[in-house]
Amino acid sequence: MTGRFISFEGIDGAGKSTHIQAVADWFRARGADVQLSREPGGTPLAEALRDLVLREAMGSLTEVLLMFAGRRDHVETVIKPALAAGKTLLCDRFTDASFAYQGGGRGLPLAVLDTLADWVQEGTEPELTLWFDLPAEQAAARRASAREADRIEQLDLDFFERVRAAYAARAAQAPGRIVRIDASGTVAEVGAAVLNVLQARYPAC
């Protein structure tokens, strides 16, 4: 039995966290056994690494190694077992975020990220990724009214435009997996776009 692995991506402030709950409800209403998780984090070890990586000053390579260290633990102890049990695993961020933030934002070589992803995931990959796309300026305005910034969220607009461009490049490389959602509308509009994707993708559900 294999479950479904679906990830949610976008720059900080794009609103993805708001819509994960609606996706969970959609699958639950259709009888799926839904499990929610997130990265960085998702296991006790990876959550401890998350606290460090979002608070402590560190170099870019250290940052990406901690992201992938947490991811390894998450894949082995949470994601693989959930999929083996036939669950629908909804993950708030996964490897695309490393390509976007550490690759696009920090400028780390994509070849290094490809190698880390191969080692860490061993083929475990989302079947669908919803990418909530929004201009960096609009996302910053939403963040400013919503919460206090962590170490990464404090970076400037140029950083987030690079992150956004890297998500776009990733989506162009994996058009069958990564679906772009225009996140510039109201919560209701974006929610409707998400439901359209789910209905088209899982018609038998």
What the block records as the tokens of 131 is: 């990418």
Judged by CB under 6 A, the residue of 6, 7, 12, 49 near ligand TYD is 12
Complex with ligand TYD: residue 149 or 195, whichever CB lies closer: 149
CB of 188 to ligand TYD, least distance (A): 21
How far, in Å, CA of 15 to CA of 157, rounded?
17
Which segments of the chain does DSSP mark as H helices, in order?
16-29, 44-55, 60-74, 80-84, 95-97, 110-121, 136-146, 157-173, 187-201
Interaction between residue 40 and ligand TYD (CB under 6 A):
yes
Which distant-in-sequence residues (6+ apart) come within 8 Å of 49 by Cβ? Answer: 40, 41, 66, 69, 70
Give residues 167-196 in contact with ligand TYD (rule: CB under 6 A).
none
> Per the annotation, does 12 bind a ligand?
yes
Residues 59, 108, 76, 53, CA torsion sign: positive
Q: Give the residue closest to ligand TYD by C-beta.
A: 101
Give residues 56-115 in contact with ligand TYD (rule: CB under 6 A).
67, 92-93, 97-98, 101-102
Chain positions contacting ligand TYD, by CB under 6 A:
12, 17, 38-40, 67, 92-93, 97-98, 101-102, 152-153
Residues in binding site: 10-17
Residues in binding site for ATP: 10-17
